[in-house]
Structure 1
Amino acid sequence: MSAATTRALTAAATGALLLGLTTACGSSDAASSDGTVTLRYAIWDAVQQPALQKSIDVFEKQHPKIKVKIELNPWAQYWSKLQTQMAGQTAPDVFWDHVAYFPQFAKQGVLTDLTPYIKSDKLNTSVYDAKLLAGWQQDGKQYGLPKDWDTIAQVYNKSMLKKAGLTQDQLGGLTWNTTDGGTFVKALQKLTIDVNGKHPNEKGFDAKHVKQYGLALASANGQTDWWNAATQNGCKLQDKAWGKWTLDQQSCVQAIQFVRDLRLKYHVAVPASVTNTPNGASLPQVLARKQAAVVWDGSWDLNAYQGSMKGNFGVAELPSGPVGKGTVYNGLSNALYAGSKHPKEAWELVKWLGSEESQKIIVAEGSVWPGIPTLNKDFVAAWQKRGVDVSAFSKAAEGTTVGYPLTTSSATYNVKVQDAFNQVWLGQQSAEEAADSVNEESNAAIK
């Protein structure tokens, strides 16, 4: 998620702390006199809607008695509206679910267990990535089918990288350490220039008047920045899925400190005062404006870069840390609302959206990586037609990854981490103090 997205996640998480959800008795009845059922399908990304509509058009032809109405609610309003609808027992029949909300929804009984449907239809779930499928399971129950996946990579401005004499392969082959920053920091120093044309490793560099930074990071919760550095340093965010947070271990603190140092010690990353504020610049904006030459971002933002940079961007793997490469690996699911009055028809839609036929239609548009890994090559091909090699994302997915934390305290974490870690990025609190406080309060909120 982009900075704007994660800020919205935090706001929605705050609402989740206050809103007590109950298992709904039923969504609004949408059956017509001729027996045709209209299902409501909630999504948040307008970029994906055209591809989804193509898929749904095929679904409706195959199921003439089922109509599907897409309800598009931007991310900033999506979760608060969905939670309100659930409380009022009027939620959409099918909706996009995020791992940050899944534990809470599963606990509150607003998700349908798909296991009986899967068994009855003898659905072959082995076509999905096992890690993605497992991410939507709790107590032996399956609460969603994988819709897509995402990882984090380095997105760079082609002209800026070329001017500095660096290549994509060089960028993806860099390493960092906690002593002197490694080749990663050295490369970022080449890409960072003050108003007088000096670099951070040159005498007279003016850190208060930087014209161009090497790197931009912007994540409220850590998904696009320090979670990745933490993985590359051997840090585990949790002791186990659904377990306790372990942010206070030294390997995590070191990674947080390194991300802080990129901004405040090495002066090669855009200050948090620019990116990590309520109205801060998004990573695609920073790269397009040449405020930074490289950003760490998720594959969900590819279309944003294409729209603003017209192919003048590339994608490289993240650098290696002390224990090697690593990235956050996440994905969405299509979930079936427990209060739907048309559960059988809603299951048909969920099953269709998770099918290879449907995901092929969506992948051809290049909006998201597919939940079925055999189709990854089709996504790469779709972007190659646009002149962009996006394979760094899939290479990352095949390597060392850390899943989005599965915990019932994600709402508390998302609120606490934004305040504490922004203080770290601004030099107002130590990495250790922030990690300790967020870890303690997040664990205290586990239900």
Structure 2
Amino acid sequence: MSSSARRILIGAAASALVLGLTTGCGSSGSAASSDGTVTLRYAIWDAVQKPALQKSIDAFEKQHPKIKVEIELNAWAQYWSKLQTQLAGRTAPDVFWDHVAYFPQFAQQGVLADLTPYIKADKLDTSVYDPKLLAGWEQDGKQYGLPKDWDTIAQVYDKTMLKAAGLTQEQLGSLSWNTTDGGTFVKALQKLTIDETGKHPNEAGFDAKHVKQYGLALSSPNGQTDWWNTATQNGCKLQDKAWGKWTIDQPSCVEAIQFIRDLRLKYHVAVPASVTNTPNGAALPQVMARKQAAVVWDGSWDLNAYQSSMKGNFGLAELPAGPVGKGTVYNGLSNALYAGGKHQKESWELVKWLGSEESQKIIVAAGSVWPGIPTLNQDFVNVWKQQGVDVSAFSKEAESTTMGYPLTTSSATYNVKIQDAFNQVWLGQQSAQKAAESVNGDSNAAIK
């Protein structure tokens, strides 16, 4: 998901509050022909993944001659608003991509079919999935999705800039930060940050108002690609438990937020939020392509964007370690089955197929997303290795300390409140403590 897409998620998540989605004896709009052939609708948002998905669907249709599947592609900017309208009108697609930010509301509103009876009836082996991913789609003992893919956050760097600063990929991936002087991470970013006269932030005469090249660029409306990661590295928990209360006002969380602020305003090694965090701000792949920063923190979903814009002049390293060690946000999508569809059995067959090793091997071969089945991770690494890119930083992080995407019915409120409050923090207009307390209180008040 690009940074601009995440901004759209905020508005779309907020609109879910007022739709009041309900289910009943509705229809997904799927069709059945006179010979008994059923046509299912499958909604996705990523055009990059569509060709590989179509290959998977072709294989599925050969094995299920009485089931046809039509892929409905809607760009992220329109996907959620359209899906929410369809759900409200009981005309939703039979199967659709689901995001953890929406899952709690959808599960509460009853628009997702519980897959547990199907899993038990077919004796489906769910142990093939990463338990952390599988658990992200479970509530009250009911399973509402099978893992489709996953993503983590890593450091994407410009090879030319890194070399010019005398740094290596190994060094970048072994850095650490602290709340006292920034640690080796800040020292490395100082080497990568240069003003228009060639001076670095730790040198006399450095002009913070006229920086030619920054060491780092960050951009995340909700925290997924910036402070959620430093939070994990500082021992912060966003919630007291899954589906529980927000706890971002705790000292370990506030320190993590303050560190991100300090990178911009104290150390002057990160691109100002006025450039990256405005509604029309530059996306991280654009920042890199423009040579505005040497390093960005971004998700594996943007790999193809860097490959196309930087033409091989980029590499990947693990995020730095914090006071309690390394850590990253670990997230994934699922294929959800619409509870109001006419053809539940056939829709389950599609969901089951999309979650199978046979299907995910087809998707992995295209190199667009990491597979929901971890035994296929090396296949994904090999696909990118053939293109000259080592993507193993993402999988190494997935295997270490991770923070899951918060499971809460108040995600819409959180996403709206945090954008304004935290942008004030990044711009130096509000303290980290005050912003954290404000967002924490409002988000907890909105839990249903």
Could you state the TM-score of these two structures normalised by the residue count of structure 2?
0.99
- Tell me whether 240-249 or 31-40 shows the greater mean CA deviation: 31-40
Aligned equivalents of 2:30, 2:398: Cα separation in 1: 41
SS of residue matched to 2:81: helix
Q: Distance between the aligned counterparts of 2:140 and 2:226, measured in 1?
A: 31
Aligned residues of 1:420 and 1:434 also touching (Cα < 8 A): yes
Measure the CA separation in 2 of the matches of 1:328 and 1:115: 27
C-alpha distance in 2 between matches for 1:29 and 1:380: 37
Aligned counterpart, 1:14: 14
1:204 aligns with 2:168: no
Aligned partner of 2:215 in structure 1 is 214
Counterpart-to-counterpart distance in 2, 1:404 and 1:95: 19
Q: Which moved more, 1:15-24 or 1:267-276?
A: 15-24
Alignment of 1:183-332 (within 5 A): 183-332=184-333
Alignment: residue pair count: 447
Task: Spell out the pairing of 1:93-172 with structure 2 (5 A cutoff).
Answer: 93-172=94-173
- SS of aligned partner of 1:5: helix
Q: Supply the AA of the counterpart residue of 2:281.
A: G
Tell me if 1:35 matches 2:47.
no
Partner Cα distance (1:17, 1:107) in 2: 12
CA contact (8 A) 1:148 1:331 kept: yes
Q: Deviations over 1:240-260 (max 9, x none)?
A: 000000000000000000000
1:23 maps to: 23
Mark the CA change 1:185 to 1:267 in structure 2 (over 3 Å): closer, same or farther.
same
Q: Which amino acid aligns with 1:102?
A: F
Hey, which bits of structure 1, 4+ residues long, moved more than 3 A? none
User: Does the Cα contact within 8 Å between 1:3 and 1:276 map onto a contact in 2?
Assistant: no
2:64 paired residue number: 63
Report SS of the residue matched to 2:61: helix
Structure 1, residues 324-344: CA drift from partner, whole Å, max 9, x if none? 000000100000000111111
Give the AA of the match of 1:291.
Answer: Q
Contact 1:27 1:91 in 2 (8 A): yes
CA contact (8 A) 1:93 1:337 kept: yes
Quick one: distance in 1 between partners of 2:182 and 2:324?
Answer: 14
CA distance, structure 2, for counterparts of residue 273 and residue 2 of structure 1: 18
- In structure 1, the partner of 2:443 is 442
Identity %: 85
Matched, 1:412 2:413: yes
After TM superposition, give the deviation of residue 446 of structure 1 in Å: 0.3
Counterpart AA for 2:51: P
Query: By how many angstroms is 1:18 displaced?
Result: 1.6
Asked if structure 2 preserves the Cα contact closer than 8 Å seen for 1:40 and 1:94, the reply is: yes
Unaligned 5+ segments in structure 1 are none
- Across the aligned residues of Structure 1 and Structure 2, the Cα RMSD in angstroms comes to 0.7
Structure-1 separation of matches of 2:61 and 2:289: 40
- For residues 364-406 of structure 1, the C-alpha deviation after alignment (integer angstroms, 9 at most, x for no partner) is 1101000000000000000000000000000000000010000
